[in-house]
Structure 1
């Protein structure tokens, strides 16, 4: 049976959008999806090319069988555990529209906190130097770098990733958002292929889940986000060690490193950076009040 409620033959040609939306919402609620109304709105809006907030203005509009089939297919994928924005193939992030791919992590609100935290630093450097050179390590969709470029027209950015598919997605997102002239990519395992370059800011949302904990993640995450973007090694901290070890040699005077981390990792991440000669200058909290991001600067004499 279709995800959407069966309709009488007399209604086969057109059905009001509001009824289709209500059917989808009920199906999601019955399946135990956490936010059935929100997921239904986003999926229906995406299928119809509308903003979710505008659906209420179109609830009486008739939908033909083709539109209903498109919505029904999206609904079936959601019921099978696929996240809403994976189904749509795009995600809004800090005012940008970013395409997703199987090789990229889906950008989330927590990463917007990191962008907000470093924006003043980028603006200050750009005002003083006429530019700000950014490295986004493990760039994925390019979300961090592209959001910072959009906010600071004088900035430039390098995005690195071990996945060719991720780099292709990031480059396409740069072009989609009119930022391709200030964004470039290189395939690199953290700093390994970033040779002889220095930056005013290094940013990263690295994998930080312990390998043994991957199986306990929400189905939407463990089955649809790439494992390489989640798995941080035995204790979840491998990437932070690599970042802390390599950052000083790639920072300009006055440069900084900014990272996102797990809600239970702020102290140990700070300790890793401290052992490599860095001091924290600020910490930033998520909407639940957890410390979620931190900015570090080298102590005097640390930069290579």
Structure 2
């Protein structure tokens, strides 16, 4: 194994009955990076993670964590990582502080060290005010923050996060992102599964786009955006009822199908169409349709996601 790769996944497959859940997926994760598995619900992300953590046996292929094979060296492979799932694995009858201290001791810390580590994590996750309350008083977001804090007690070298911010409010999601970045800055490596494009773009150094159990594309966010090719025209229309008229003008001038999302109309452009954008603007101005935005832009990760997954089988 390359010494810089802490995870290697080679040609793994998994079927459930007649359904192929994961089909010949391969990737590597480098030491110190955040690697994102991105895809819609049911794409196969969690199945891949369950195989990586040895909760599921793959039907074919090989997974190694720090050189240890998850099938033939399962005990040693499981010692290489910590995992945080979509549901909290914490004792509901204890306080946040008590949970963290207990997990600290389970990770080999002495009593004073476990208390100190608990205090650090309570501060990092904005739980100091609620540290000595029973978990019955905690909101879903607070429980999720505590769940991640528990998984960080031992400062894991490799951390698996399975959609850790699903259902969280924006403020709590940002707190989780800050905690993940801090962990990586201290030397950890992270695998993150997510269905949020914004999350993958903000956190991941590299992204693997998964759909229908297949690897669709892999690269940095910038590399993936380049794969869409060309540029795009984005028009934000002031009045919703004017969107169909704008759509008709764009299609007539450029001869391309467009995408609409609320008051926003977008269309990918080739080099010839770039020169025709002025005609689109002239026609919109002649009809006096009020616009909030009219610009040629680089495609976003959202565009990559739509182009690569819509209609794929």
Q: Same fold (TM over 0.5)?
A: no
**Hey, which of these two has a bigger chunk of helix by percent?**
1
| Larger-gyration structure (1/2) | 2
TM-score by length of 2: 0.27
TM-score by length of 1: 0.28
Higher RCO (CA-CA < 8 Å; seq separation 6+): 2
